[in-house]
Amino acid sequence: MTIENVFVNGRLADITVENGHISKILYSKRCVTPRVIDPQGPQLWMAMPSMTNMHTHSAMTLLRSAGSGEPLFSWLQNAIFPREALLTAEDIYKGSKDACEEMLSSGTTAFNDMYFEIESTLRAASEKGFHGNVALSVIDRDFENGNVENFIKNYKRLSAEYPTLSISLAPHSVYTVSPKNLQYAAELSHEYDTLFHIHISETLKEREDCIREYGVPPVVHLDKLGVFDKTGANFIGAHALWLDEDEIAILGKHRCNVVHCPNSNLKLGSGFRFLYTELRDAGVNVTLGTDGCASSDNLDMLEAAKTMSLLQKGIRNDPSVLPAEETFTVASANGRKALRLPDNSISEGNVADFYLVNLNTLPFKGVEIDGGDHHRIHTELLNRLLYAAHSDVIDVDRFNC
Ligand SMILES: [Zn+2]
């Protein structure tokens, strides 16, 4: 199929998709009239690489907005764990399916999930054509009651049944998993070459408790246990909000991935001074996530991207930090790198995993699309998409393989 009148990197083009790949991008020589975007004018689109939600608990669509106003620890104890105890495998399947639909409608086609009953999530995600990683969330008792053992036993069968998704363990955090079990999970990650998905340094309390119990902050604690030696680029640390210089250096040295979840962190009052520039410059692959719907209330990556960019400008008193183009790279390419998914930037030969932005909408009204300065046009369209639009400008028809 060929999609006409699409802006690709600031140039008008027709994109042909065959067998799940972009086979041809034919840049147009024709003039666009009118010379500025007019919602009533000819239909125009922009193609954008689909985004990757790098930390979520999909089935938490069932617990949307639960316990609003409570900080993380009491929120977990009072609002989340009692509700989760009542969920069946079928509930989790339905909740995950809703989550995938919600993510698709806002331009996201891949995720890194963390929950229990992973077969339910795998089934929902594969039915919706999702890619990425589904991780079994485990705490200490799961190492004793056979859940981790079952994971190992079922690993091959599930990997064969759901070949478009990867499967891994997710030790919940340093405060719910003992040093011994963290080491064991890291060894399994090494042995099976799977991802290692964990909440890390989400709150100041987590950091202070870790120092009190083990004498060092969470990242140093994991390093001392040898976790990074075993996991390296398979390590995905969600939140990573309360870090010092030494911890950033450790994460960079091992080429780890971290996931910023700005809306969830703000809603739970966990903090907002995410050290984006420092982590990036140290060699950490910084990615973006929404977290589950109980804390971020929606799964809208466009909204998360906007919050992330604005927070960086605000905390550094510098509007040039994290511009739109870099923010979209964090939200898509960086996540795909962490999940080992193929490049979905819009070029010939790449997988066709992109969404279309409807430019005949108010946020794009008046953008000059005349002339040969493609970079200027591209930057302006990206700025409008990130800072002015909502995800309702995203067309849900997509072309992923
Ligand atoms: Zn989480």
pLDDT of residue 47: 96
| CA–centroid distance, residue 55 to ligand 1 (Å) | 6
401 within some domain: no
| CA–centroid distance, residue 56 to ligand 1 (Å) | 6
89 within some domain: yes
Give me the CATH number covering residue 259: 3.20.20.140
Alpha-carbon distance 359 to 38, whole Å?
A: 8
| CA–centroid distance, residue 223 to ligand 1 (Å) | 21
Give me the CATH number covering residue 35: 2.30.40
| CA–centroid distance, residue 353 to ligand 1 (Å) | 26
| CA–centroid distance, residue 291 to ligand 1 (Å) | 5
| CA–centroid distance, residue 239 to ligand 1 (Å) | 8
- Bridge partners, residue 113, by sequence: 56, 134
| CA–centroid distance, residue 265 to ligand 1 (Å) | 10
Query: Which of these three, 338, 361, 378, is where a domain ends?
Result: 338
Q: Are 14 and 63 contained in the same domain?
A: no
| CA–centroid distance, residue 18 to ligand 1 (Å) | 37
Query: Which of these three, 322, 338, 354, is where a domain ends?
Result: 338
Q: Are 61 and 44 contained in the same domain?
A: no
| CA–centroid distance, residue 310 to ligand 1 (Å) | 22
Alpha-carbon distance 147 to 142, whole Å?
A: 5
Q: Are 239 and 224 contained in the same domain?
A: yes
| CA–centroid distance, residue 10 to ligand 1 (Å) | 36
Alpha-carbon distance 322 to 300, whole Å?
A: 19
Q: Which residue has the tokens 């705490």?
A: 139
| CA–centroid distance, residue 30 to ligand 1 (Å) | 48
DSSP code per residue over 254-304: TT-EEEE-HHHHHHTT------HHHHHHHT-EEEE----TTTSSS--HHHH
| CA–centroid distance, residue 292 to ligand 1 (Å) | 6
| Domain count for the chain | 2
pLDDT of residue 35: 87
Would you give the end-to-end CA distance of the chain in angstroms?
13
| CA–centroid distance, residue 57 to ligand 1 (Å) | 6
Q: What is the pTM assigned to this prediction? A: 0.96
Q: Are 102 and 161 contained in the same domain?
A: yes
Q: Are 359 and 297 contained in the same domain?
A: no
pLDDT tens digits, the chain, 401 residues: what are they?
Answer: 999 999 999 999 999 999 999 999 999 876 666 789 999 998 999 999 999 999 999 999 999 999 888 888 898 999 999 999 999 999 999 999 999 999 999 999 999 999 999 999 999 999 999 999 999 999 999 999 999 999 999 999 999 999 999 999 999 999 999 999 999 999 999 999 999 999 999 999 999 999 999 999 999 999 999 999 999 999 999 999 999 999 999 999 999 999 999 999 999 999 999 999 999 999 999 999 999 999 999 999 999 999 999 999 999 999 999 999 999 999 999 999 999 999 999 999 999 999 999 999 999 999 999 877 899 999 999 999 999 999 999 986 655 43
Alpha-carbon distance 364 to 352, whole Å?
A: 24
Q: Over the Cα atoms of the chain, what is R_g?
A: 21
| CA–centroid distance, residue 65 to ligand 1 (Å) | 14
| CA–centroid distance, residue 226 to ligand 1 (Å) | 23
| CA–centroid distance, residue 296 to ligand 1 (Å) | 10
| CA–centroid distance, residue 229 to ligand 1 (Å) | 24
pLDDT of residue 70: 87
| CA–centroid distance, residue 259 to ligand 1 (Å) | 10
Q: Are 125 and 72 contained in the same domain?
A: yes
Q: Are 118 and 20 contained in the same domain?
A: no
| CA–centroid distance, residue 158 to ligand 1 (Å) | 23
pLDDT of residue 28: 85
| CA–centroid distance, residue 293 to ligand 1 (Å) | 10
| CA–centroid distance, residue 199 to ligand 1 (Å) | 6
Q: Are 220 and 294 contained in the same domain?
A: yes
Q: Are 137 and 207 contained in the same domain?
A: yes
8 within some domain: yes
Q: Are 8 and 144 contained in the same domain?
A: no
400 within some domain: no
Q: Are 43 and 179 contained in the same domain?
A: no
| CA–centroid distance, residue 173 to ligand 1 (Å) | 10
Q: Are 358 and 290 contained in the same domain?
A: no
Rounded to whole angstroms, what are the CA distances from 271 to 23, 69, 298? 45, 14, 19
Whether the Cβ atoms of residue 67 and residue 75 lie closer than 8 Å to each other: yes
| CA–centroid distance, residue 331 to ligand 1 (Å) | 17
| CA–centroid distance, residue 3 to ligand 1 (Å) | 37
Alpha-carbon distance 60 to 38, whole Å?
A: 39
Domain that holds residue 150: 51-338
